[in-house]
Every structure is written in C-alpha cells, then in structure tokens.
Amino acid sequence: AQSVTQLDSQVPVFEEAPVELRCNYSSSVSVYLFWYVQYPNQGLQLLLKYLSGSTLVKGINGFEAEFNKSQTSFHLRKPSVHISDTAEYFCAVRVPGANNLFFGTGTRLTVIP
Amino acid sequence: GAGVSQSPSNKVTEKGKDVELRCDPISGHTALYWYRQSLGQGLEFLIYFQGNSAPDKSGLPSDRFSAERTGGSVSTLTIQRTQQEDSAVYLCASSLAGTSTETQYFGPGTRLLVL
C-alpha cells in the first residue's frame, strides 16, 4: 500500500518570497510522482511530474520539485511567489500499472501582498 | 481544444434521493477516472474506465455508488439513496490511453450537498 503525506495544511508566504511545499510518500515499490494545483472553483492542473532520470524536475509557472529517494520526498519549490500562486497544491503518486493516482490531503498556499 | 466538462456544477439534494453526475472527457481520451474530494480527506479514487475493458470499481465506497460510460465517451456517476456523508466535490478526469505516466486532465467538478 502507498500513502502520501503533505505535512503542512496551510502555508502563508509574502509575495516575492520563496516557498517550499513538503511531500513525503511511502510505498513498497517505485512510484511516479506528481504535483497538481487547484485554483479556486477550478479542476486540478498538472504542475510537474517525476517519472525517471534527473531528480530535479521543472514545471509550469516557475515551480520545480526534487525527488529524493532516500528521504522518500518530493518537495515543491518556487524561488519567488506571486499573488496568482494562491491555490491548493496536491502531491500524488501512482504505482506503475495501477489505475489511479493516490493523493495527499493538499496544502493551501496563500500569498500575502 | 475543449477540456473535461462536468455537469451540473452544483447539486443540492435531500437525503434519500438519487443523483446523477455527468462527465464529458476530452475527445479521443480512452481513459476516464472519477474521484471524490471531501473536506479534510483529499482526493479519493472511485472508479476507472479504459476503452471497452471492464471498469475498475475498487474505489467505490458502497453499493449505492455506480457509474457507466456509454460509447466510450460520456460517463455518468449515480449515487442512490444519498446520505449526508456523500456531500463532496466529485471530480472527473481523462487521459489519452490510461498509462501510468500520463497526465490526467481534470474537470471543474460537481459540488454535491446532501441536506
């Protein structure tokens, strides 16, 4: 079985400051890792994903994430946030061959002017 | 092109009534997923359709929940005898072929409130 833990349910940060949203996972097999963003009243949109290869993955809107196998982590970072980054962020895993994504409970990022 | 669409966007119903939620996937996508997003619970997988294969119903929480996908396109999620704990946002997603590495594209969801 697998699980995904997003340690912070809410993260407030000032505009133009850096941010890190934490994600840890547990799985007995290798997994693929995803970050999705949900803007208010919208569906989820893929930010980035790690499948294999380089552990540093760059995504849309200036976000990046680093896969750390020994720490079983996949933290999301952005060096300078904008007001428009205010949203809920979900980390997810998928076991190769499985039919579904398994999500964490989400982190609400609020960017303060 | 058009994304995943869902209807209705909001649904209020009384306990014990049946509801139907609709999902139109992206044209050409053979894989379709339903998830439920409850307060404090994150997103839970409900059911998965891939082409003409038998659906994976392993995430359905009870036999009051069912889903069908007609003609390999539109899907309907039906909840019978709704309960207050069914209140949630129901999200539909589609992907091109259902492989594990693919991006799933999500619709805006149907917000269900059971009174």
Residues of chain B found within 8 Å of residue A104, distances taken between Cβ atoms: 42
**CA proximity to A33, closest of A13, A56, A10, A12:** A56
Tallying the residues shown for chain A, one arrives at 113
**Number of structural domains chain B divides into:** 1
* Minimum-distance CB partner of A100 among B3, B41, B45: B45
Please write the tens of the pLDDT for every residue from B43-53: 999 999 998 88
Beta bridge partners of B45: B35
Q: B14 in a domain, yes or no?
A: yes
**Bridging pattern class, strands B42-50 and B19-24:** unpaired
Q: B106 in a domain, yes or no?
A: no
CATH superfamily of A3-112: Immunoglobulins (2.60.40.10)
CATH assignment at residue B37 = 2.60.40.10
Q: B67 in a domain, yes or no?
A: yes
Q: What is the mean pLDDT of chain B?
A: 93
Please write the tens of the pLDDT for every residue from B34-82: 999 998 778 999 999 998 889 999 999 999 999 999 887 999 999 999 9
Chain B residues touching chain A at CB-CB below 8 Å: 3-4, 33, 35, 40-45, 48, 50, 56, 58-59, 91, 93, 98, 100-101, 103-109
Q: Is the dihedral of CA A3, A72, A36, A75 positive or negative?
A: positive
Question: Which structural domain range is residue B2 located in?
Answer: 1-76+91-96
Which sequence spans correspond to the domains of chain A?
3-112
pLDDT of residue B72: 79
- Give me the residues of chain A with pLDDT under 70, please: none
CB A41 within 8 A of CB A82: no
Distance, in Å, from the CA atom of B13 to the CA atom of A73, rounded to the nearest integer, reads 41
pLDDT band (50, 70, 90) for residue B1: low
Q: B37 in a domain, yes or no?
A: yes
Q: B115 in a domain, yes or no?
A: no
**Residue A52 burial (C-beta neighbours within 10 Å; 0-12, 13-18, 19+):** exposed
pLDDT at B4 over 70: yes
Query: Does A106 sit within 8 Å of B42, measured CB to CB?
Result: yes
pLDDT at B84 over 80: yes
